[in-house]
Amino acid sequence: MSLAALFLALSLPAAAETPVVALDPGHGGFDMGQSLNGVREREFALAFARLLEPRLKARGTMPFLTRFSDEFVALSSRVVSAEQVHSKVFLSIHLDNNAERGGKGVMLWVYGKNNSIPQGPPRQHGERMLPAPPKDQVAVSRRLAERIQIVLRKRGLRVAGYVDRGPFAVLKGPGMASVLIEVANLHDKAEARQVKDPAFQAKLADAVADAVGLHLASEARRGP
Ligand SMILES: [Zn+2]
C-alpha cells in the first residue's frame, strides 16, 4: 500500500459514508506521455487532477490521487492503491496525440476489447497483468462515462458522440466505475490551444465533478 493510500485508509473510518474518487493523472517520471503544441500531457494531467480535487470535495466526496508529482507509478499499482481505499470512481486523465484525425472534443473510454488496439499500450516496468473487470462493473463505468458526456454537452463543451473501449490496465478496477478521459487531441491545434486556457479547464473540471456527483447519487439510489 502506498503511503498516500495508507493515510487515506486511516482517515476513512470517521468518514465511512464519504465516497472516495480516485483521480489518476496519466504518465509521469520516465513515462513522458505526449508532448506537442506547447502542452505536456503528464503535467496537464496532474494539474487537472488538482483542479478536480477541491471541486470533488465540495460535492461531498473524498478525492484520492494515484500520483502527486512527476513520478512514475505503474498502471496496475494505480488501480490497486485506488481499490485499497475503496474508491467508487476511478478517473484516469489523459491527452491524445492522434495525427489520423482532428479534434473530436473530449473522448471517454471504458474497458472493452478494441480491434484497433488489441493489446493496449505496451506494458511498463513493474507492471502486473490485471484480470478483466466484471461485466457488471463495466456497465457501471459506462453509465459514468455517459453521465460525463451528457453534462459536458449540456455545458456547451465539445465531446465525442460515443464512448470508446480499450483494454487498458487503468480501466480494470473490479470495484470502481473506471473511465479514462482524453481531454484533447494535441495534434489538433485548436484543441491544444483550448486545453491551455484556464477558463476551459475550470469549466471542464466543474462539469466533470458535477457528473461524478450525479453518478454517485444515482448509483446510491440503485442500491448495491
Ligand atoms: Zn496518456
- Phi/psi region, residue 71 (left: phi>0; alpha: psi -120 to 50; beta: rest), is beta
Residue 18 has pLDDT above 60, yes or no: yes
Residue with cell 453518478: 215
Instruction: State the distance from the centre of ligand 1 to the C-alpha of 154, rounded, in angstroms.
Output: 26
How many angstroms is it from 103 CA to the middle of ligand 1?
16
Residue by residue, DSSP assigns 67-124 as: -SSS----HHHHHHHHHHTTEEEEEEEEEE--TTS---SEEEEEE---TTSTT-SPP-
| Mean pLDDT of all residues in 157-169 | 96
pLDDT at 100: 87
* C-alpha 16 to ligand 1 mean position (Å): 32
Grid coordinates representing 39 are 502542452
The residue assigned the cell 513520478 is 71
**Contact call for residues 12 and 73 (beta carbons, < 8 A):** no
Helices 135-154 and 198-222 meet at what angle, rounded to 10?
130
- Nine-digit cell string for 208: 466533470
Q: Other C-beta atoms within 10 Å of 126: how many?
A: 11
Question: Could you read off the pLDDT of 125-138 as tens digits, one per residue?
Answer: 778 889 999 999 99
From CA 20, how far away is CA 64, in angstroms rounded?
7
> Ligand 1 center to residue 156 CA distance, Å?
24
CA of 12 to the centre of ligand 1 (A): 30
Grid coordinates representing 58 are: 465540495
- Tell me the pLDDT tens digit for each residue of 57-109: 999 999 999 999 999 999 999 999 999 999 999 999 999 999 888 889 999 99
Q: What is the pLDDT of residue 3?
A: 65
Q: How confident is the model at residue 117 (pLDDT cuts 50, 70, 90)?
A: confident
C-alpha 206 – ligand 1 centre gap (Å):
22
- Between the CA of 149 and the centroid of ligand 1 the distance, in Å, is 19
H helix or E strand, kind and range, residue 31: none
Q: Are the C-beta atoms of 61 and 19 separated by less than 8 Å?
A: yes
Distance 99 CA to ligand 1 centre (A): 15
What are the structural domains, with CATH classification, of the chain? 18-222 (3.40.630.40)
Which grid coordinates belong to 150? Answer: 451528457
Q: Does the pTM exceed 0.85? A: yes
Nearest to 32 by CA among 82, 94, 78, 81: 94
CB 182 within 8 A of CB 96: yes
Asked whether the beta carbons of 41 and 35 are under 8 A apart, the reply is yes
CB 173 within 8 A of CB 87: yes
